[in-house]
Amino acid sequence: MHVLLIDDSRTMRRILASMLKQMGCQTISEADSGLAALELLADATAGGVPDMVLVDWHMPGMSGVDFVEAVRAKPYDYRGVVMMVTTETEIDQIGRALALGADEYLMKPFTQEVLAQKLELLGFEV
């Protein structure tokens, strides 16, 4: 499985990467912003298209929700799984993210067990 982690916090990207590696994830790409992630996806030759994207909600420049909206539209038209990783708790906001194309959301803080459950729910073997 190839996962793209998008978070402006290097620490959060390291925590997620460590959890995913322990679960057997083979390839992890990272971006510190939604715009940087869009560039990575536009250049699929730089590591291939990820099977899943985990994206933080609150980031400067481009929010995770704005990223989801952009990546689901042309020219990207990304068909892989997108999971929001968020402290956002308002049902309306979560519903908006899902309506724009997020497949699932993971509430911070979370454990590796909860992350594994979400991945299994989305059809990934961990």
CA 56 to CA 64: how far, in whole Å? 5
> Using CA atoms, how far apart are residues 122 and 104, in angstroms rounded to an integer?
8
Domain that holds residue 38: 2-121
Which two structure tokens, joined as six digits, stand for 125?
A: 């073997």
The 10s digit of each residue's pLDDT in 66-80 is: 999 999 998 888 889
CATH number of the domain that 78 lies in? 3.40.50.2300
One-letter amino acid identity for 40?
Answer: L
Is residue 2 within 8 A of residue 71, CB to CB? The reply is no
Select from 92, 40, 93 the least CA-distant residue to 70.
Answer: 40
Total of domains in the chain: 1
pLDDT at 53: 97
In the chain, how many H helices and how many E strands?
5, 5
Average pLDDT over the chain reads: 93
Question: Is residue 126 in a domain?
Answer: no
The structure's pTM equals 0.93
